[in-house]
Structure 1
Amino acid sequence: MEEKKLDLKTIVGFGLIALLLIWMIYNQSSNREAELKEKAKKEQIDKAKEKQIPEQKTAALPQDSIANDSLKIAGLKSSLGAFAYSATLPSAKDNTTKIENGLLTLHISNKGGYISEANLNNFEQFEKGSNKRVELIKENNAHLNLQFKTKDNRILNTRDMYFEPVLSKEGKNQVLTMRLKAGENQFLEYRYVLKPNDFMMDFSIRTQGLSQVLDTSKPMDLEWQLKAFRNEKSVSYESRYTDLVYEYEDGKDDKLGQGKNDTEKVENVTYVAFKQHFFTSILLTDTPFKTADLTSENLVHDDKTDTIFTKRFTAKMPLEFKGGELSYNMNWYYGPADYKILNDYDRNLDEVMPLGWGIFGWINRYIFIPVFTFLSSFLPYGIGIIIFTILVRLVMSPVTYKSYKSQAKMKVLRPEIQELNEKYKKDPMKKQQETMKLYNSAGVNPMAGCLPALMQIPVFYALFQFFPSFFDLRQQSFLWATDLSSYDSIAHLPFYIPFYGNHVSLFPILASIAIFFYMKMTTGDQSMAAPPQEGMPDMSKIMKIMIYISPIMMLIFFNNYASGLSLYYFVSNLITIGIMLVIKNYIVTEDKMHALIQANKAKPKTQGRFQKKMQEMMEQAQEQQKARGKK
């Protein structure tokens, strides 16, 4: 029995061991299967990532690894032809190269090879203390593109391709070459040379070894675009002085885009300037562009709304091949639209400044700018404007004196002229003859009062151009005005008044008050000086209306204008009122004028040739009138 029991126990033990082994084998198999599934899943994820990474890099920008991918190279060659080589270089990345010289900070992009940022280090946007540098180029608001055709009939644009940058130095100059390569020694090159403390840099475009790659039967098209950033506090005022200026045909200059959309096609262009009121970007060339298609688009559609950009400019010029290659030496200017700086380059760049044409520009260039520059060299700008105004009024005081003296004489003669009008009211020709005799005997020239006023027009217009354009006034403060080149706001309105704006400027109010009292003081004398003529409007009534219209017009128009100009007219009218009071009360009194006229009448008179001719013409006309009456 014992042996049987032992056999039974043995059998049970082996059974338990077998079950345990089966469980262990099953459990191990399950774990192994799970591990295999997890590993397979991980391998699938890794493979998917490996597929995604090259695709993302290729879509975004070409990498070195592309050179080992024959399919990728084949794809690049199908789109870029010989210039597929440029997309295989390490420089084929969206990187930029920074160069600066103290005045300028420039960023040149690998993609396109053009300037992607241009900052002026020493000037602030909007108002002093804003801590925002003036930005002429930023965030793709400007592009430089060359469009060309290859011998295998591809139309390519440099803005879409990658240049290889090499930064070096030549003395103190920074030199950046950007090359768009079709091979190791075949390339299109942009060369930038930035000099120390200079707003002007050298820029050249040339090709090397591309005569067998490019179709040189047609010019290469250079296109320069810029959306002008707003840098001043008044968008409407800045837009008014933002325009495109160009020089053509050996020194001629013109502009377009003054407040409206405009296009122009010009020949033999030597520079194109995208002027932004107080700052400008200028492209100059030693080899004139044969033609230039220029456009200006106004981006300020509502003066009540602040905008980022004021104008969009475009210039498209053909670059001619010579000997199968391209070679153009140019310059870029990025800096202030300052007359003194631009004029020192001696390349006719002062014409970028809107100083007026003819005699108006002459007065600004050779009188106002030198005089005001001298005064502001040792005086605060506000005080400089006051002293400048005093000097202008003193120089013009003889004209004011002659004008008032003529009015005073006419005022004394008014009773006699009215008597002649009444006596010969039925004979206009005789009345005119007797009136001329009276003027001649009294030594009075009826035109003498008009000529001085006409002489003041060039000065008035020159000043009107000078103050909004003079760069030195930008962000210079005086009393409550924080910027003499812009409006002097003392209050902001919660609404917008058409033609006036949403703010109140004080200097225009003071100038309007001053001109009101000046016109009030002088209009009475003018109306009494010249009696109304038969069949002509009564000028005295018109002048009385102008007493109120002129100040209102000045108040509205100058509210958004340069406060320096309003300050000038305020001080000028005050000085003129003072001069007129002195002349009226102490120099040209009515008694003195009456005695002078009587003395002139007592003198023997000889007619001048003009007066004699007029007298003969009137006598002939009178005789003809009598002859017709007899018939």
Structure 2
Amino acid sequence: MEEKKLDINTIIGFTLIFGILIWMLYQNQPSAEELAADKAKQEQIDKAQINESKAVVNPKESAVRPVDSVTFAKYKDQLGAFGYAATLPSAKDEFVEIENDLVRYKISNKGGQLVQVQLKNYKAYDSIPLNLINDGNSLFNLQLATSDNRTLQTKDLFFEPTVSNNGNNQIVSMKLKVSENQYLEYRYEMKQGEYMVDFTVRSQGLGQVLNSAQPVLMDWKFTGNRFAKSVTYENRYTRLTYKHEGDKVSKLSPTGNDEEEEIEVNWLSYRQHFFSSILVSDTPFKTAKLSSENLVENEGENVKQTKTFGASIPLAYQGGELNTTMHWYFGPTDYTILKKYDEYQLTDSIPLGWGIFGWLNIWIFIPMFNFLTKYFAEGIAIVLMTIIVRLLMSPVTYKSYLSQAKMKVLRPEITEINEKHKDNAMKRQQETMALYGKAGVSPMSGCVPALLQLPIFYALFTFFPTAFELRQKSFLWADDLSSYDSIAQLPFEIPFYGSHVSLFPILASIAIFIYMMMTTGQNMQQQPGMPNMKFIMYLSPLMMLFFFNNYASGLSLYYFISNLITIFIMLAIKYFIIDENKIHAQIQENKKKPKKESRFQRKMKEMMEQAEAQQKSKGKR
């Protein structure tokens, strides 16, 4: 009876305990307000996860992929602390693309570097898209020395990309991670309507990972793709140019292979004639090893690249971390565009000529041509600019022709002196100079005007090959004023000439020959022991014909129009302005007048008399 009673009590006890538990659970259940708060919190967490997933560009895996301990150990054994980067979903060959209205960038996870730079508004000579970087022709790499005695190359490692916006600017951050909060970062910031992109190399929390006793070595290798019809002509203006030590601008060889090591380098430009790839540093690089290798030997359709450039630059640590601010410029070698970045003086990378030649281009010819091209096509603008230049130089042409006319009047008397003293060069020179003095004629007066024209001649010689406005602009039979104007293709190649025939150089050579006949030819007298001037007169147009066959047709057009105008000006001077009979009469009057010798003339006369006396004394011995 007692055991039965205990069983009933046990059952009643358990029942009471169960009831109490039910009552407690009921009393502690969350209220409606608490359930709403929990729901809002969960929504916030879900939203943050969605935003975080959007920050990673093109992720094909939503979470860190599982890596077994053996694989992770292998990564760590190979890469040390940077083995962490190999475990992330971004450790694969994927790309980020950003673009504005001018340029398109493609950046690879591997190396965090640019693998394609396309200029959207331009095409190569064969109408394909113009890519300054494509198909592995550019390599950007940092060589890292780690605290565990490893040497790593960033080109072989995988960066994690994120894309964001700063107003209208697009930002790509490429991070080579050691952990979530420790990384090496490449930061690209692209602005609308700009060819220049801000580029920063920085590190965070790598003070104990990298060996700051050894500088980080930054390497940038670049091979120029062919963009022009004549690869030899394009290669002539493809050159590594750099600004260093303040305002110094230097260049590597345009033809052979070359190397230089410089200090305090502000920027370096890999110029490909009409397009440039430029790296600018806000703080000058302390040292830089630069190199250039020529890849072009001959003209040919199979030649696809011009030169290979290289730069090796140490980056210094700041407080154990990296923080170097730079800028990339990938765009036209156009003076007007580069002038927008005048704080870096990038226009100095354009070969406009040194000294007075460059000043003439900057202050006269570039503004004049830009003004004319606002209203006229480029070919017409060349003709109009040539007419303006020749008209402004017409007073100099007049002085030169007047001197030639005076020399022509004196030619019979000079011939007589030469015949009379043909065996005595000293006496012949004395009497010739005396004749010039009596007639009031200076043989140098014809040279001075020609010398005055030389700066303009050379300035325009450098202007037309660098005038970006001429690129792919047609005129008459020339389909591209920045390249040669082929009117016939030869079935063979002529050395130094090529396998095509350009018409503008032929016209320019003919005009130069006629001009030389009108100037040098009419006063040409062969002096004993002197070069054959008639041979030179024939050789000069022939040399131009060969030299300019592969040159820009815009330059040949200028020379043709310039010499044609000069010929007409000289004909006008000869038949409507200068009267040779009056010149002859004036010279005869000058002969009658007593001529006071200048100090220089007296000195020259004395020197010639002394030389003649010495010659006679030697003859007697």
Segment of structure 1 superposing worse, 473-482 or 610-619? 610-619
Q: Which amino acid aligns with 2:75?
A: L
Q: Aligned residue for 1:81? A: 80
Cα distance change, pair 155–577 in 1 and its aligned pair in 2 (3 A):
same
Residue 456 (str. 1) matches residue 446 (str. 2):
no
Work out the CA distance in 1 between the residues paired with 2:496 and 2:620: 61
Is 1:412 the counterpart of 2:383? The answer is no
Does the CA-based 8 Å contact 1:62-1:93 persist in structure 2? no
* Alignment match, 2:488: 491
Q: Equivalent residue for 2:606?
A: 616
Indicate if the aligned counterparts of 1:95 and 1:109 stay in contact, CA closer than 8 A.
yes
Listed one character per residue, the Cα deviations across residues 292-339 of structure 1 (whole Å, up to 9, x for unaligned) are 111111222332343221111111100011211111111100000001
Percent same amino acid at aligned positions? Answer: 58
Measure the CA separation in 2 of the matches of 1:179 and 1:609.
79
SS in 2 for 1:345: helix
* Residue in 2 that maps onto 1:108: 107
Equivalent residue for 1:536, pick from 515, 523, 529: 529
Q: 1:275 to 1:62 in 2, by over 3 A?
A: farther
Runs (4+) of structure 1 exceeding 6 A deviation are 61-65, 626-631
Q: Is the 8 A contact 2:64 2:89 kept in 1?
A: no
CA distance, structure 1, for counterparts of residue 103 and residue 245 of structure 2:
31
SS of residue in 2 equivalent to 1:134: strand
Alpha-carbon offset, residue 451 of structure 1: 2.1
The yes-or-no answer on 1:147 pairing with 2:143 is: yes
Q: How far, CA to CA, are the matches of 2:61 and 2:447 in structure 1? A: 76
Contact 1:485 1:564 in 2 (8 A): yes
Q: Which amino acid aligns with 2:593?
A: K
Task: Tell me, in whole angstroms, the C-alpha distance in 1 between the residues paired with 2:491 and 2:464.
Answer: 29
Work out the number of aligned pairs and report it.
561
Which of 549, 555, 569 aligns to 1:559? It is 549
Aligned counterpart in structure 2 of residue 260 of structure 1, from 251, 256, 260:
256
Residue 206 of structure 2 corresponds to 210
1:393 aligns with 2:390: yes
1:593 aligns with 2:583: yes
Contact kept? 1:235, 1:306, Cα under 8 Å: no
Q: Which residue of 2 aligns with 1:68?
A: 67
Task: Give the C-alpha shift of residue 450 in structure 1.
Answer: 1.9
Secondary structure of 1:117's partner? strand
Q: CA deviation at 1:612?
A: 2.9
**Cα shift readout 1:312-370 (whole Å, capped 9, x = no counterpart):** 11111000112111111111000000011112211221121111112221221111111
- The alpha-carbon deviation at position 78 of structure 1 amounts to 0.4
Indicate how the Cα distance of structure 1 residues 428 and 492 shifts in structure 2: closer, same or farther if over 3 A, else same. Answer: closer
In structure 2, C-alpha distance between the alignment counterparts of 1:141 and 1:63, rounded to whole Å: 33
Cα distance, 1:525–1:119 mapped onto 2, change above 3 Å = same
* Structure 1 residue 517, shift from structure 2 partner: 2.3
Partner AA of 1:86 in structure 2: A
Structure 2: which amino acid aligns with 1:241? Y
Q: How does 1:322-361 map onto structure 2 within 5 Å?
A: 322-346=318-342, 347-361=344-358
CA distance in 1, matches of 2:217, 2:307: 23
Rounded to whole Å, the distance in 1 between the matches of 2:569 and 2:477 is 28
Q: How far apart, in 1, do the equivalents of 2:491 and 2:93 lie? A: 46
Secondary structure of the residue aligned to 2:412 is helix
What is the CA deviation profile of residues 493-531 of structure 1, one whole-angstrom value per residue up to 9, with x for unaligned ones?
A: 22222222222211112212222222233333121xxx4
Distance 1:305 1:123 in 2: 20
How much has 1:284 moved relative to structure 2? 0.4
CA 78–507 in structure 1, closer or farther in 2 if over 3 Å, else same: same
Whole-Å separation in 2 of the counterparts to 1:199 and 1:88: 35
Q: Deviations over 1:95-151 (max 9, x none)?
A: 111111110100111110111110001111115xx2x22110011111110001101
Deviation, 1:416, is 2.0
Relative to the length of structure 1, the TM-score reads 0.85
- Residue pairs, 1:188-587, within 5 angstroms: 188-346=184-342, 347-425=344-422, 428-527=425-524, 531-533=525-527, 535-537=528-530, 542-587=532-577
Q: CA separation in 2, counterparts of 1:425 and 1:500?
A: 43
Q: Retained in 2: the 8 A contact 1:63–1:88? A: no
The answer on whether the counterparts of 2:110 and 2:159 sit within 8 Å (CA) in structure 1 is yes
Unpaired segments of 5 or more residues in structure 2? 1-59
3-state SS in 2 of match to 1:302: coil
8 Å contact kept, 1:251–1:348: no
* Deviation sequence 1:139-183 (CA, Å, 0-9, x none): 111111000110111100100111111111111111111111111
- Structure 1 unaligned blocks of 5 or more: 1-60
Match of 2:178 in 1: 182
In 2, Cα distance between equivalents of 1:427 and 1:235: 55
Distance 1:253 1:62 in 2: 50
Write the letter of the residue equivalent to 1:579. Answer: I
SS at match of 1:284: strand
CA distance in 2, matches of 1:568, 1:126: 23
Distance 2:399 2:67 in 1: 90
CA distance in structure 2 between the aligned counterparts of 1:304 and 1:248, rounded to whole angstroms: 36
Q: Which of 168, 173, 197 is matched with 2:169 structurally?
A: 173
Structure 1 residues 598 and 630, CA gap change in structure 2 (3 angstroms): same
Instruction: Tell me the CA shift for residue 593 of structure 1.
Output: 1.8
Deviation at 1:401, TM superposition (A): 1.7
1:24 corresponds in structure 2 to: none
Secondary structure of 2:520's match? helix
- 1:298 and 1:435 map into 2 onto residues whose CA distance is 54
Code of the aligned partner of 2:212: T
Counterparts of 1:426 and 1:552 in 2: how far apart (Å)?
Answer: 35
For 2:119 and 2:421, the matched residues in 1 are separated by: 74
1:136 to 132, 135, 148: 132
